[in-house]
Amino acid sequence: MVASTQERLLLIDGHAAAYRFFYGIRPMTTSTGIPVQAVFGFIRMMQQFQRQVYPTYQAVAFDGGLPQSRLDLVPDYKAQRKPMPDELRVQLPILQEYLAAARIPCFCLEAVEADDVIATFARQFDGRVYIGTSDKDMYQLVCDTISIIPLSGALVALDADGVVKKTGVAPDQIPDWLALTGDAADNIPGVPGIGPKTAASLLQQFGSLSALFDRVNEVKREGVRKALEEHAEIVWRNREMVLLHQVDSLPKVETLRNQACPTDPLRAFFEKYAFDSFAQSLRSPELF
């Protein structure tokens, strides 16, 4: 549990959370047949995060489409992903309805990915930042003041040592690491024959991509050395792909400060979608 005297910002990857609970919770519908399991899981997650972090600022970011700058580099960026299921798509407006009732700021900007919105706010904030996400790209943000809390499993904040333990490299090496391995989830191919362990070993030895390519003749394994030489252009392109962008059109992070949340709109929302347990929990206002 976080000390309540600190200024704390909680940022949630909205689409990642919605997918997590859509597939991770048994199907649920209202009496009129509207699917709501992703909404139910999302609200429960927000309560758990709020109890653990006690945020003084918070926001949720949703993907608003793919940035042209990334598509210019990799035209097939995320092209392999299946369309969002209709049963999940209809729940996104309900999620936004919940966030409005709970007075939690929500952002979905055209052709802007949630990761970039989250990174922009996290870098602005003068205090502790907790990011709820399943995306390893976000590990590059981790530092003394920024932690990642995975959306699955125990809500344990991942610090810089945790990133090293999980990946083999420090947070500031994550863009170089992903540049070498690629990211199958985003349809970004890496260097053939270089997986996460080999990439980590190379960065542990050389420190950075620049040093690795400056001294590529020192790479002992001939196959790895040749692969690096043949795919150097792809590696540098990948690094540009995974770097998180500044979003200049966002408001100042100060606008994310918690507002007093009247219970009536929230209760009306819970009753509308038959979330009886959440309506009952309004008797414990510290959850919101």
pLDDT at 65 over 70: yes
209-237 mean pLDDT: 97
Query: CA 114 to CA 124: how far, in whole Å?
Result: 16
For 211-237, letters b (16+ CB in 10 Å) and e give: ebeeebeebeeeebeebbeebeebbee
Residue among 138, 240, 237 nearest 191 (CA)? 237
pLDDT tens sequence across 88-122: 999 999 999 999 999 999 999 999 999 999 999 99
67-88 mean pLDDT: 95
| Domain spans in the chain, listed from the N-terminal domain onward | 8-163+245-287, 171-242
Residue 26 in tokens: 């048994």
Residue 46 in tokens: 């927000």
Q: Does domain 8-163+245-287 have CATH number 3.40.50.1010?
A: yes
**What local confidence, expressed as pLDDT, does residue 2 receive?**
44
Which listed CATH number (1.10.4160.10, 1.10.150.20, 3.40.605.10, 3.90.1150.10) goes with 171-242? Answer: 1.10.150.20
